[in-house]
Structure 1
Amino acid sequence: MATRNESQLQQNDGAEEDATTISRRAHQTISYPAFYARFGKQVEGNMYDKYDNPEGIINMGQAVNRLMEEEVLARLNKGDALTMTARYQYYFCSFGILELRQAVASLLTRHHKPYKAINPDNLIVMNGVTACLDALSHTFCDPDDVVITPTPVYGRIFTDFQDRSRASVVPLVALQEENFELQPQDMEKLILKIKSEGQSVRACVILHPNNPLGCVSSTSYLRSIMEICAQHEIHVIVDEIYAFSIYDKETEFNSVLRMESVPDPLRTHVLWGFSKDFSIPGFRLGVIHSTNPLVLSCLKTVSHYHSSPQLIQHAAATIINDKEWCDSFYIPTSQKRLAEAYHKARQRLEAMGVVVKKSVAGLFLWANMQAFLQPCNADNENALFTALLNGGVIISPGQMLHCSNPGWFRIVFAVTNEELEIGLSRIEAVLCKWKRSVKTNSS
């Protein structure tokens, strides 16, 4: 991970740094470890382009779905989505315009089939799921309160809860030796341990589908976790941002919203957003579903700092209200393309000697490259990441995702077919060199 100095703010034009110009809180923010901060300029200034920069870096680290890029762009460019009118020049409801909240409620109701139709009044719209997590941290946690999340996990879960609200995120560690699977009693033991140390556990964050594992939790597992949290009066936050990116035909997504009853309705909150499933991360649109009046009241107030432009909200509502395009074309086509890209990437990687964990959802796969590391440790994992970056492709090392077993990497396959082929070829070229190096060192 990045050290404190590596992620500190750069000095401007050689001016001397004066620590007193910003608050202690600001110093905490800029010193928070940010893995990709070390490589931002190297990557952003040298991205692959077929014509202008064919030797540039293939980005297989950022979880973006580019498989439906042209189709989404064409739909948004129809006159009903992004046409500017006087209506969009003025102030509006900061926690989401009614048009979008009704559209999202309809989308989730018709696809997740909840026992009761989603009420738009229970939805809060913010500028991305990251903003939603930050707002929930503000709502639930005082400084040093504990939030539990299973790991490996999307790295920003730690940042979003710790950075501004100063909560403490404690990992519930899932290990390779147990196929990265956890039992409900593991959660119970961790909660009791934390409470015995005098700390307050305020929330548990579950990624469903999981990032980076690409798996979907069973309803029984989710209910067991929720029952344990209910016993200890802990909020359960279920992030379902990949809910419409299930690419395995035999897997049915069991949204928490579908549960006829939950152990503690007032402490159960579901997140979703447009960034992953609808290929528009630039729109910055995330949604919180909650039935807790106090939580909703606080979120509505906090939303003044997290609102998205009204025109963008209207455009998003337009495409998901178009049921023929959204339900009959976009979602099934996206899932089909994700499946094709996943199988292609998995077959290529396995042919290289990489062990790939089976996944059913998301934009990425979870790859074990331990056979190429000798010894297999965090330093060599980072060295392989750097070698791949220098070889023209960026992926996410397990340490960035708080994986306790070195040698795992998350590889995003939802890139264009051309970039997938080139990116995998560059990975293969680097691994071939590493394989020869391992043989030489061991002989």
Structure 2
Amino acid sequence: MAASTTPKSCFEKVLSPPPPFLISQRAQGTLAFPTFSSQLADQLFNNLYDRDSNPKGVVQLALSINQLMEEEVLARVNQGHTLTLTPQHQYYNNSSGLLELRTALANFLTRHHKPSQAISPDNLIVMNGVTACFDALSHALCDPGDVVLTPTPVYARVYTNFRDRSGATVVPLPCPETDNFALQEGAMESLIKKHMEGGQRVRVCVLLHPHNPLGRIYSTQELQNILKLCAQYQIHVVIDEIYAFSVHDESTEFNSVLGMESVPDPDRTHVLWGFSKDFALPGFRIGVIHTTNPWVLSCLRTLSHYHSSPPLTQHAAATLLNDVEWCDDFYIPTNKERLAASYKKARECLEACGAKVHRSVAGIFLWVNFQAFLDECTEQCEIDLFMAFLKGGVCILPGQKLYCAHPGWYRIVYSARDDVLEEGLARIQAVLSQWKKNKKSETT
């Protein structure tokens, strides 16, 4: 099959250079670094599949949304006075988070992660989403040109969040396909030394735990080794635990950094969490940073004026966490059960098509290898197949947009509603079947 001329950045809007001084150099840098997932959303949100109202629309299996508990979450949020506006919510509040929510978060994280000492609300900063938390931490920790390391493949906004406004340089640590994408500590130390010897300051290491898109969890020993290595070189570690309560494998227990008895360098260890994924509430715009560093806390409290979350949604979120019977006894275990069932259904379907699926224990993604369907393992061939899926009415995410060093991998969200997932899997099957026929006809 001949390679198409589709450009790699097939959704990028090409703008002519702005007239001198019309916008800032920072703004020009932002325009020059578009986010692929945002471009997908702009292109597809007005034509999403709906079984009744838009059956020919595109099935969206690229954006990270969990719809499996949609009805249950809506029912609980709309119950009683959860979203009733009161004078407390009508006026200005603490921009770094209502004490009500920070206390509920501290209690929630303490009872689930079981640290030796209870988490303090004073060490929590609430902002309008984990993306905002990343942006604020990049401001607090990085100067322009500082190096931020992260294992790849990785959630692509890690690059945007540290580069866009703080001007840090995000450097990938490619995890080899041949080693099941494991993080190699020796390679990480070599990369640190390389940049330090080149005169750069390695400032931050970003870990996604559970991982996006791999769906893996680091062992306690792996985490300790990474934290010790970063402490040795005085590197901050930012751990994004946004899928901490979406571990769907019954034999796997999540080991939060917040539950460790001690960390090598507490002043350089910062943990993120939010409501978007585990509680299927991205519209609430609530993320949280845990840090014990007093200077970072002080800076974040100041920055929270730019990243505050609405008091009414904070109150609603606190209500969910404080309802232990609903939250701990019903919601979290039921969500995990549904994730496990959906993961199993999607994995079995894709493997029946001839794809290889990376084993996942957490999160809402399948990390899928379609290399067997490509003429060549190149980025362009990967995009060609992505465009074929899109033409066939289903959208998934090509691995190159997650900085994967090995073409042919794709991320597929399996936490869609049952009817949406089934339709999406059927369309993937149809595209792959037609793709095989086209390849066969070209070789005969």
**Cα 1:129–1:63, aligned 2, differ >3 Å: closer, same or farther?**
same
The amino acid of 2:198's aligned partner reads E
State the Cα distance separating 1:405 from its structure 2 match. 0.3
User: What's the CA shift for 1:18?
Assistant: 2.9
Answer yes or no: is the 8 Å Cα contact 2:394–2:424 preserved in 1: yes
Contact 2:210 2:216 in 1 (8 A): yes
Cα deviation for residue 86 of structure 1 reads 1.8
Shift of the alpha carbon at 1:365?
0.9
Q: 1:3 to 1:425 in 2, by over 3 A?
A: closer
Moved over 6 A (4+): none
Asked if 1:364 is matched to 2:365, the reply is yes
172-181 or 341-350: bigger deviation: 172-181
Tell me, what secondary structure is at the counterpart of 1:406?
A: coil
- State the 1:5 CA deviation: 10
Report what 1:407 is aligned to.
408
Distance 1:267 1:413 in 2: 35
Residue type at the aligned position of 1:413:
Y
Quote the Cα distance in structure 1 between the aligned partners of 2:188 and 2:395.
34
Counterpart of 2:426, as a letter, is S
SS in 2 for 1:142: coil
Distance 1:334 1:6 in 2: 36
> What is residue 83 of structure 1 aligned with on the other side?
84
CA-to-aligned-CA distance 1:73-95 (integer Å, 9 cap, x gap): 00000122100112211000000
Alignment CA distance shift 1:23-1:304 (3 Å): same
Give, in angstroms, the shift of residue 115 of structure 1.
1.3
Which AA in structure 1 matches 2:64? A
Letter in 2 for 1:370: Q
Structure 1 distance, partners of 2:327, 2:254, is 18
Provide the C-alpha distance between the structure 2 equivalents of 1:77 and 1:40, rounded to a whole number of angstroms: 27
Q: 1:308, 1:346 → 2: CA distance?
A: 37
Aligned to 1:322: 323
Match status 1:267 vs 2:268: yes
For 1:6 and 1:352, how far apart are their aligned partners in 2? 31
Deviations along 1:316-367, one digit per CA (max 9) or x if unpaired, are 0001110000000000000000000000000000000010011000011100
Query: Aligned partner of 1:138: which letter?
Result: H
2:117 is the alignment partner of 1:116? yes
**Structure 1 unaligned blocks of 5 or more:** none
Tell me the residue number matched to 1:428.
Answer: 429
| Counterpart residue type for residue 342 of structure 1 | Y
8 Å CA contact retained: 1:7, 1:34: no
Q: Which residue of 1 aligns with 2:345?
A: 344
The Cα shift of 1:442 comes to 4.0
What residue is the counterpart of 2:177 in the other structure?
Answer: 176
Match of 1:139 in 2: 140
Q: Conserved in 2, the CA contact under 8 Å of 1:5 and 1:31? A: no
**Contact 1:4 1:33 survives alignment (8 Å):** no
TM-score, normalised with respect to structure 2: 0.96
- Tell me by how many angstroms 1:216 deviates: 0.4
Seen in structure 2, the aligned counterparts of structure 1 residues 409 and 3 have a Cα distance that, compared at 3 Å, is closer
Q: Which residue of 2 aligns with 1:334?
A: 335
Quick one: structure 1 residues 292 and 38, their matched pair in 2 at CA, closer, same or farther if it must change by over 3 Å? closer
Partner SS state of residue 375, structure 2: coil
Kindly report which structure 2 residues correspond to 1:190-201, keeping only aligned pairs within 5 A, or say none.
Answer: 190-201=191-202
Deviations 1:180-219 (A, max 9, x none): 0122212111100110111000110000000000000001
- Name the amino acid aligned to 1:321: N
Give the drift of 1:174: 0.4
SS in 2 for 1:147: strand
3-state SS of paired residue (1:414): coil
8 Å CA contact 1:377, 1:406 repeated in 2:
yes
Amino acid at match of 2:351: E
Q: C-alpha separation between the residues in 2 aligned to 1:240 and 1:5? A: 30
What is the RMSD of the two structures over their aligned residues, measured on CA atoms?
1.5
Q: Is the 8 A contact 1:2 1:35 kept in 2?
A: no
Equivalent residue number for residue 256 of structure 1: 257
1:59-78 deviations in Å (ceiling 9; x for gaps): 10011110000000000001
Aligned to 2:228: 227
Structure 2 equivalent of residue 212 of structure 1: 213
Per the TM alignment, residue 390 of structure 1 is displaced from its structure 2 partner at its CA by 1.1
Given residue 287 of structure 2, which amino acid in structure 1 is its aligned partner? Answer: G
Moved more, 85-94 or 212-221: 85-94
* C-alpha contact (below 8 Å) 1:4/1:31 kept by paired residues: no
* 1:36 CA drift (Å): 3.7
1:66 aligned partner, one-letter code: Q
Q: 1:212 aligns to what SS in structure 2?
A: coil
Q: Which amino acid aligns with 2:266?
A: P
The residue number in structure 2 matching 1:127 is 128
Larger deviation, residues 162-171 vs 49-58: 49-58
Equivalent residue for 2:12, pick from 6, 12, 31: 6
Specify the alignment match of 2:248 in structure 1.
Answer: 247
Note the residue ranges of structure 2 that are not aligned, 5 or more in a row: 1-6
CA contact (8 A) 2:11 2:40 kept: no
Match of 2:70 in 1: 69
Q: Which residue of 2 aligns with 1:102?
A: 103
